[in-house]
Amino acid sequence: MSLETLSPSSGHQETLPELRTNSFRRALARISHLTDDARIFPTLILLPVMFFFIVWNVIPTLWMIGLSFYRYSLMLGNEQFLGTNNYMSIMTDSQVWEALSRTFIWVGAGVAIQTILGLLLGFLFWGSRDMPGRRLALTLLFTPMVLTPVAVGVFFRLLYEPTFGIVNYLTTTVLGVQVNPLNDRAIAFGAVLLVDTWMWTPFMILITLAALGSVPKAELEAAEIDRIPWLKRLRYIIWPNAKFILMLGILLRTIDSFKTLDLVYLMTNGGPGNTTDLIALLLRRKAFEAFDLGWSSAMAILLLLTAIAFTSIYLYILNLNRRRQEAIV
Amino acid sequence: MAEIRLDKLRKEFGKLVAVRDVTLTFPTGTVNCLLGPSGCGKTTLMRMIAGLETPTAGEVYFAGERVTHLSPSQRNIGMVFQYPVVYRGMSVYRNIEIPLIEIKDLSPQERKRRIESVLETLDLAKFAKQDVSDLDNGTRQKVSVARAVARQPKIILFDEPVTNVDIGSKTQLKRALKQLVKQHNQTIIYVTHDQTEAMTLADTILLMLDGEIVQTGAPRELYDSPRDRFAGFFFGNPGMNFIPCPVEQHNGSSTLGKPLFAQPMRVTGLTGQPEVTIGIRPERVRVLTETAANTVPATILREAMVAGGQRLLTLKVGATTLKAKVPPTDTFRAGNTVHVECPVEHVVLFGSDERRLEAALQA
């Protein structure tokens, strides 16, 4: 019996429990009617996500864009339209340019080191399928990645601590050199970058393993049978298959590294001097210490645009390859 | 000088024994087909010969030299896989060329000559400049065959190379294979589950079941005298007829009679079995419209068209059914009564253990 044909009047003759069942069925039928519709169903499923996306993402971004054209202080609250003045002041601010170039060095060096280490270790794990304890080693290796940056920051501050930290103890006993990494202008940047590398190299190992896993086994076996040397296998078989996942990993790491705040904030807060002052730290200071929200909004917009630029470059390269392949097929 | 010898080769995957202590020799310059149903361990056996799989026990020798511990590239062999494996993103010519570059004492002229000759044989010349990603599976498989053959290794392994290509390429590939394998006195191992393929290509067929080699021999030999019921059934399309038949005593000698024979047929070499199984190939069963010497009457239950335009008849003889393959004529229709003769020279007898008996029928 079709559920839609149950008219409300037919329910009157029936006993109460059945009536309830019928109305329940009818409601169910109405819903299932909606969920069967190929146009309505996806929208229904997307609605909650769309709601949160709009409330937490779209509206704040639009608000921020608006705010970036005003002078607005959390302390004073005196709104004043400035036009593009905030942007102009950012462009001419030497502190911004310094922090930005420091951030680029941070991203470039960090991502490069993490990628190289990740590739090496990834290949190592890939090539040692039968190694005993491989699983345990991998699990341990991935631990830094799942820790919160705050915990890592505190942990390494203790290690770097000059009076009772193990780093200073080791360098004094082994090398006879006293170090205070986080307060030494010469090595603070490197010391923090080292922690970032410790944290994020596992991610690149994971990406490398995933990328290598996407190389068809049969092609590798064929290359082995065909006696193709290792470097050529890398170039002709592994690279063409693995490059997309690898590049995706590098992109994610680049964007993430560009936004680094918590780790550095906890370890040095930009010091000593401003040797570890990354752009995100500068932004945080302007927004939550100087309460200059207009200026900070403009800065945030510029950073967002930079991140979008990174992504676009990646997508462009990816599409270029796809287009080339489509041209062939 | 590329004899392959296996010594008690064994492979276990956990509790599953894929290959059970296989000992055999593939002589130099022969084409050997490993034939068997899916999952019988033939691919595993081949992969162990290639070095892609490490044996649980046993040894592999090439030309008398132990190679069990060597990597696939150290073994210097060629191999064609079940799925066409090509190096994507480059031309057909380049695909064949890449492994050849690695042969140190091969001059560029000789390299070019080899590639062109193999392209010619496999009818690939027109694709030479095309990207392999561009080609269909059949052509890709031809490229991978070309790649393996052009290197001219002493041993080439084929792992069901024509299973995943379309019919047209299949015939072409098989023809090319026949032509190629005889050129350089190479030892070929060819894995297949297709008996027709094995029949047409092989010098020797190795029939495999459950990780063991059941029977080895020339195609004709396997066809005429299967060692057991499995060999008789697996080899042939459709497989052999198996009809149980009680052994009777007549004038002091053992005989076989109903249902297949009109008069009792004397059988020698039996060792007191109460019953044997008569095996006869469908194409050996003679179906006549008139009664003749030693025929039994039968009714046609079904008829069907099979390859080559022949007719496959399902006959009811007494209480059993018998399949017979006959030339295409209109005289045999379902429901007709015919007369069936099983020529004694084509009858094979099996015991209750399914093994062939060393016994013979006499007219």
Nearest residue in A to B79, CA atom? A225
Q: What is the CATH number of the domain that holds B262?
A: 2.40.50.140
Residues B171, B117, single domain; the answer is yes
Higher model confidence: residue A184 or residue A24? A184
> Are β-strands B155-159 and B187-192 bridged in parallel, bridged antiparallel, or unpaired?
parallel
Look at residues B197, B215, B234 and tell me which one is the last residue of a structural domain.
Answer: B234
- Kindly tell me if the per-residue pLDDT of A291 is higher than 90: no
Look at residues B209, B234, B259 and tell me which one is the last residue of a structural domain.
Answer: B234
Rounded to an integer, the average pLDDT of A257-277 is 89
Residues B222, B79, single domain; the answer is yes
CB pairs A-B closer than 8 Å: 58
pLDDT tens-digit readout, A4-27: 444 444 444 445 555 567 777 777
User: Are B87 and A219 in contact (CB < 8 Å)?
Assistant: yes
Residues B122, B182, single domain; the answer is yes
If you average pLDDT over each of A18-32, A215-229, B171-185, B252-266, which comes out highest?
Answer: A215-229
User: Are B71 and A224 in contact (CB < 8 Å)?
Assistant: yes
The pTM for the full model equals 0.74
Residues B200, B256, single domain; the answer is no
Residues B217, B278, single domain; the answer is no
User: Are A221 and B144 in contact (CB < 8 Å)?
Assistant: no
Output DSSP code: residue A235: I
> Percent helix, strand, coil in chain B (nearest 5)?
30, 35, 35
Q: Provide, as residue numbers in chain A, all residues whose Cβ is less than 8 Å from the Cβ of B89.
A: 236, 240
- For residue B153, say if its preceding peptide bond is cis, omega within 30 degrees of 0: no
Residues B288, B339, single domain; the answer is yes
Task: List the single residue in B78, B83, B89 with the smallest CB-CB distance to A225.
Answer: B78
User: Are B99 and A221 in contact (CB < 8 Å)?
Assistant: no
Q: Are B301 and B315 in contact (CB under 8 A)?
A: yes
Looking at residue A281, what is its pLDDT?
Answer: 92
Which residue is associated with the tokens 């780790």? A263
Instruction: Tell me if residue B194 falls in helix, strand or coil.
Output: coil
Residues B278, B230, single domain; the answer is no
Interface predicted TM-score of the whole assembly (ipTM), two decimals: 0.79
Residues B202, B253, single domain; the answer is no
Least confident of A64-73, A235-244, A257-266, B326-335: B326-335
Residues B30, B150, single domain; the answer is yes
Q: Which tokens is B155 given?
A: 């041993």
Residues B97, B219, single domain; the answer is yes
> DSSP characters for A39-103?
THHHHHHHHHHHHHHIIIIIHHHHHHHHHTTEE-BTTT---EE-TTHHHHHHHT-HHHHHHHHHH
Instruction: Tell me if residue A3 falls in helix, strand or coil.
Output: helix
Residues B57, B162, single domain; the answer is yes
Give the sign of the dihedral formed by CA A257, CA A258, CA A261, CA A266. Answer: positive
Number of domains within chain B:
2
User: Are B134 and A218 in contact (CB < 8 Å)?
Assistant: no
Write down the mean pLDDT value for chain A. Answer: 85
Q: What is the CATH number of the domain that holds B97?
A: 3.40.50.300
Task: List the single residue in B77, B87, B88 with the smallest CB-CB distance to A225.
Answer: B77
User: Are A218 and B83 in contact (CB < 8 Å)?
Assistant: yes
Look at residues B219, B234, B249 and tell me which one is the last residue of a structural domain.
Answer: B234
What residues make up the domain containing B334?
Answer: 241-362
Looking at residue A196, what is its pLDDT?
Answer: 95
Q: Provide, as residue numbers in chain B, all residues whose Cβ is less than 8 Å from the Cβ of A214.
A: none
Rounded to an integer, the average pLDDT of B83-87 is 88
User: Are B98 and A226 in contact (CB < 8 Å)?
Assistant: yes
pLDDT tens-digit readout, B38-76: 888 889 999 999 999 999 999 999 988 999 999 998 998
Residues B263, B221, single domain; the answer is no
Q: Provide, as residue numbers in chain A, all residues whose Cβ is less than 8 Å from the Cβ of B78.
A: 225
Nearest residue in B to A229, CA atom? B102
